[in-house]
Structure 1
Amino acid sequence: MIGDLIRPAWWAAILAAVLVAGIPSGVAAPAGPPGETLHAAGDGAVLDYEALARRIAAADVIYLGEQHGNPHHHAAQLKIVTDLVAAGRRPALAFEVVSVPQTSELMSFVLLPQVPAHDTAAALRLRDELGWQAGTEWRDYGPLLEFARAHRLRVAGIDLPQSLRRRISRVGIDGLNAVERTQFPDSGLVDPAYQQLMHERLNAAHCGFASPELVARLYATWLARNDTMTMAVTALAAEQPLEPVVVILGLGHVENNMGVYERVAQRAPTLRQLNIGFRARSPELRIADELAPLDRFGKQFAAAHEILWVTPPVAADRRTPCEGLELRMKKMEK
């Protein structure tokens, strides 16, 4: 049973020692390329990579919350997974960018017999099956999937299909038919403070152009997605209880230990979770604020992330964040 997934303390200590020992020399602080720093919530301590490795080794579920498309974040994710395997672990990789029904495509790819490195037919076939024609998705996640194939790791898609996400955002949960509603679970978690917080964030993300009705539907979509990811993550954890699940997802889905994090804690309370959030260094980033509890709407939320991994800045998009968004919002309202 999922609720029985618990390890004795001595097991975590052994895993930590093995993981740290398995990391190649020369990868201690600072982690990754110059300009990257690790910070712990609570006391705000700056960590070296070995300290992080010990925390990773003790976790059952490791969230690697990214800013989508950031190459530094994807490189760090690959490093963590590579070091886990080097230490003798067999992590499962769970991807937000792939839907649950597409898991079979991922597993068929990673279980293919080894082929020459120059043979790209399998990767091209997978990209076509996943709808990744643009190439940016494979640039970001292809190295992780190729690594999983080389080591025959379990992989899974954990999100709702895009078509169902669009339907909920347009008609709400009540507008779905009976068959559509069978495609995702309902945790039953209701948190008015979190709802207000997410309404605020969703409105800000859409530059204030979304109507209150659309924001409510977007929040319903958000909950359905988080419940679906939770179901997938806990299923992977239950399948091989002594191996970690590494979850590759947008950092918002576990921010303040809410979203997927909170739902996994409800569904499988004995699983030990670690919330690592990657953020690009920028003038707007306030590290102290990210590491402090958040008091909003009558509730004290946890810090944004248990570990904040700050990476170098990336080239800024010349477009303004809100450019063209008002027109897209009007189309969604129709």
Structure 2
Amino acid sequence: MASSFPGARGLCRAALALLLGAAGFAQTAQAVYPDQPIKLVVGFPPGGGGDLYGRLIANAMSKSLGQTVVVENRAGAGGNIAADVVAKSRPDGYTILLAMSGNLAVSPALKPSTLPYKVPDDFTPIGLILEAPHGLFVAGNSKFPDARTVLATARKRTLSFASTGTGAAAHIGMEMVKQRAGVDMLHVPYKGSGPAITDLIGGQVDMFFATASPLMGQVRQGQLRVLALTGAQRSPALPEVPTFKELGVDVVVTQWYGLAAPAGTPQAVVKTLSEHLSRALEQPDVQQAIRKDAAMERKLPLDAFRRYIVEDIARYKSAATPELLTQIAQ
């Protein structure tokens, strides 16, 4: 019977060959990722702190992947514009985001209705890059010798603290310190660290609460002193500076940076990016560049990074008192 249908056997063989060929082509196509430059969208102008970290990782991953990772600066709205661009990009692994605590934790926690994207729904986390602690800074000649004295004084009279903007990660971090230490302080927002530091040194404000890494130069020069840092443990770059947690004020929120892709990006592609990010963070020159200013690299890939983001959003939500939300809305 079979011999009477030679054409059928030929058709079966041809169909099988086509199927095997298609499978082989699919495997080959997947294996060659990335076969074109990858765009890393950064929510800072060139030269800013986050931009420097983005370029550091882009350069290291370019070498590891054998394909260029190009930084595209999309500054504005505290990094939310960059996040929106990536959330709406094709999920093919060729457009990724320098995610950070501001656009993937603070904004989603405190003003989700104003965002054109949802976290974590609209993103596929690739991995955490680093954490930089926030610090309580005073002028080099300040009368406050340590953070305990600041907190004790704040319980007797109102002190003032500067930040680089209402609703920014550092501002919310200091609001957490206030809540958990049981003190009240006057918030004085500035447009940037430059004018805030000028007024701090001039005595117009008592303290400045900000991400520590960009201010390490002024600390080394003696213009500023840092009295306490956020984070779960002391910074190796500042081993003499206590954490707020050590002082009985359980505030561990940090300024963090990581990588994220649009939701729907193939898992194999995300895994490739995550593996090469881990390789980048193992490079001594990358570690040195991160650690020199009190930050610390931290490998936390894929689902672990997703859980980290969700937990950080919850921490910021815990600080969202009606008074704070009113400040942010103004």
TM-score (norm 1): 0.24
**Which of 1 and 2 has higher RCO (CA within 8 Å, sep 6+)?**
1
TM-score (norm 2): 0.25
Q: Which has the larger radius of gyration?
A: 2
- Higher-strand-fraction structure: 2
